Amino acid sequence: MTIKYKNVYIDDTYTICGNYENDGPLSKYFDKKYKKDLYFDEKSWEKAEVHLIKEANKNILNKNKLKEEDIDFLISGDLQNQIAASDYMARDFNIPFIGAYEACSTVGEIIGIGSTFIEGGFAKKVLVSTSSHNMVSEKQFRNPTEYGTPKPKTATFTSTGAVSVLLSNIKSKIKVESVTFGKVIDMGITDVNHMGAVMAPGAGEVIYNHLKDTKRDISYYDLILTGDLGIYGKNILRDYMMTKYNIDLGDNYNDCGTMLYDLDNQPVLAGGSGPVCSSLVVFGYIYKEMLKGKYKKVLIVPTGALFSPTFTFQKESIPSIANAISLEAIL
């Protein structure tokens, strides 16, 4: 399902990162950087994540001199007990709220929902936001970091931060051209430490369907970015696309999880993950490079593993999903 838009634009973005992300190669592109611990003056990891996503939304409103009543919808999602951080954040905003969850692919879902509201004439301004916190997610989905549990090289590192994106029907320099909503794909994988393998087929399917729906070739885009497949998932996707669809992703393909950190010098294993991983790279780095004219047409493919610890303990396999967002610079 691909929806094309004529009148949906990105007015502005606001990005906040934690200390590991600040030490990475893209630090200069983020609006606010926390450089010390991950508590952010709160009493728990969970409250710290709420702090981040609340701060991102408040700061983007202040930056654009907007009041809460100027926003038609606030659409948000995160990993914390599915979307607990967003729920607790939303209680402090007098804006109609829609909570959304697609794990690390959440930003693709909420951009799609918000864009559809605007294109359909149901809203003029929509605020979408997402977050993740390393300590919160590791505790919830794997093991508390304090346990010191060894991890295989295929494991990824949950990113810490929050991102807010202001969508509007007023023309700006970056247009949301289309969104392809993905299908849930389950290849029978049960390894919670190999999310790249879990999510790569979902990314492959939505990329193929996007190209088919839009009648485009892979060369149409200056850059294609998946969300958080990491080193190994990135290679699996290349093989998947070539084997199943005879599509060579070529040199204009990359993965946000391998871009956010210095993989040679930071202890992040296969790369970054979490909803904010792709969001920081796209709406911090890529967005600003598009404004400069470096990229004109970019396909963003946030990827998500839809697993529940409860179902994993019951020996269920892990479903995945991905969504494709087509962004175009109008300069």
Using the CB atoms, write b or e for 289-320: b if 16+ within 10 Å: ebeeeebebbbbbbbbbbbeeeeeeeeeebbb
Contact 238, 311 (CB under 8 A): no
- The model's confidence at residue 229, banded by pLDDT at 50, 70 and 90, is very high
Mean pLDDT of 230-250: 97
pLDDT at position 147 is 65
> Do the first three CATH levels of 2-168 and 174-329 match, i.e. the same topology?
yes
Q: Where are the domains of the chain?
A: 2-168, 174-329
pTM assigned to the model: 0.94
- Percent of the chain whose predicted confidence (pLDDT) is above 70: 98
pLDDT at position 320 is 93
Mean model confidence pLDDT for the chain: 94
- CA dist., res. 252 & res. 14, Å (int): 26
Domain range 2-168, CATH class: alpha beta
- Percent of the chain whose predicted confidence (pLDDT) is above 90: 82
**Helix (H) and strand (E) counts for the chain?**
11, 16
- CA dist., res. 279 & res. 297, Å (int): 17
Fold topology of 174-329: Peroxisomal Thiolase; Chain A, domain 1 (3.40.47)
